[in-house]
A and B are shown apart, each in its own frame.
Chain A
Amino acid sequence: MNRPRIVITGVGLTSPNGNSISEFRDNLLRGVANIQEIDMRYMGKVPAGVCDFEATKYQSRKELRVGTRAGSIAIYCASEAIANSAIDFPNYDKDRIGVYIGTTEHGNVETENEIYNISKFDYDTRYWTHHHNPRTVANNPAGEITINLGITGPHYTIGAACAAGNAGLIQAVQMLQLNEVDFALAGGVSESIQTFGIFAGFKSQGALAKHDDPNKASRPFDISRNGIVVSEGGCLFTLERLDDALERGASIIAEIIGYCMNSDASDYVLPNPERQSECMLKAVRSSGLALSDIDLISTHATSTPQGDIQECKAIREVFQNCPSTYINNSKGFIGHAMGAAGALELAGNLPSFRDNTIHPTINIDTLDEECTLNNLVINHPLKVDSIKYILNNSFGMLGINSALVLKKYDE
């Protein structure tokens, strides 16, 4: 089947260390992390990645009060992405725009807040807010975008644990190829730092990061890593069919040429390197490339003792004969942005198509031998001859794997 080519034409993001792709990229190249300690209800201080974007740039104060943090992050990212795409949005047919947002989870924050609220009223449910249901329906972050921007095409979220950012993009690619929409907003968002349940769950699992210096708490591949730093954030891309983008004279950031999603079918939390290998292989195969064509792998590794080892096993298995494939990870800078992670990490690496520089994996003082990878870029950025193809990994609980292959667009 001859499918239309799909390209990225805009990026909007908020991460703990940047509220635009240029600020984010600059901090990745300069080695600037931004993790802080926050006071978590019932738990005390925990490290977390907090975003500091200007929410009122695109929302009224009433919208902010009624909506959710995930919705607000989504609206900010969507609006920034649309501006970045330079599309004539006011005159665009809003019925032909699709919104596909990946989320790890949604509704925990709002439900926890309401239970806390009614605990002040002896658990009398008359004090439970009527905003609860519109805030907690799974489509909330995508739906808030459509209300804010007047988009009347399809919108929904894709629940895909921490593979969600890639999953949102894959959905958009498919819908554009099926001609269901002409323009898509896709990626992932996360408001997870607002819920104690996520933190407490990771802590009970022995997978919540702990470190005296919050900026060193997230340390993928380091021997002393001890868990995840949960972060909020979002990253949405505008996607179009290549022909449409060319016709309107869009500036093309990258082309999505391959992808794969598969399932471990083995464990609730422990990743399965065999299935991760298959996922990467299938993604590269679907792009028509050889494995050795991949210039850069953006890893998912979350700084957990077990998970990082599993991904490294998978990468060694697949890319053992690829001496010019470099590898990095972005979570040392921003923690684990959950549903936004895959999209944010991709956005952080896309500028390497132009500057031929790979941002490093930071916070590696002593590399875990079990995480040894050829060409892992550690602690300092690396300038290379050229970056033409990126593989973006994103994996999640219940054994959900995703890999995306991006190509530098040459005019």
Chain B
Amino acid sequence: MTEEQVKQIVIDIINEIAPDEDTSNLKSEVNLRDQMDLDSMDFLDIVMELRKQHGIEVPEEDYPKLASLDSCADYLTPKFNS
């Protein structure tokens, strides 16, 4: 799986959990919370959906690695490919 595909998976999850947000022009390098109205509960939802939909576990200490689409791709791509 490519990093671009992983980014799209994260965007798809955000579309589910924050359906009022416009995710069409997200900047990959910018923190998601600086571009959208996301709170800590939303990040827990992202973690839950990664677990439910893709069997990916994100331990609590790694939550900061989900800050931006780029950091998500860096962190999650090896997990998707392992």
Contact = CB atoms under 8 A, between A and B. Distances in A.
Interface of A: 60-62, 65-66, 121, 126-127, 129-131
A121 B52 contact: yes
Given A121-B52, A126-B51, A60 B20 contact: yes
A227 to B, nearest CB: 38
Contacts, number: 23
B17 A131 contact: no
Contact of A127 (B19, B44, B45, B52): B52
A62 B48 contact: no
B1 interface: no
B41 A62 contact: no
Interface in B20-59: 20-21, 37, 41, 44-45, 48, 51-52
B18 interface: yes
Contacts of A131: 41
Nearest to B52: A127
Contacts of B20: 60-62
A130 B51 CA distance: 13
Interface residues of B, number: 12
23 contacts: A60-B20, A61-B19, A61-B20, A62-B17, A62-B18, A62-B19, A62-B20, A62-B21, A62-B37, A65-B17, A65-B19, A66-B41, A121-B52, A126-B51, A127-B48, A127-B51, A127-B52, A129-B48, A130-B41, A130-B44, A130-B45, A130-B48, A131-B41
Nearest to A124: B51
B15 to A, nearest CB: 11
A122 to B, nearest CB: 13
B12 to A, nearest CB: 15
Contacts of B45: 130
A65 B45 CA distance: 11
Contacts of A62: 17-21, 37
Contacts of A121: 52
Nearest 6 pairs between A and B by C-beta?
A: A61-B19, A60-B20, A130-B44, A61-B20, A62-B20, A62-B18
Contacts of B52: 121, 127
Nearest to B16: A65
A9 to B, nearest CB: 33
Nearest to A126: B51
B50 to A, nearest CB: 12
A61 to B, nearest CB: 4
Contacts of A61: 19-20
A61 B20 CA distance: 6
Contacts of A127: 48, 51-52
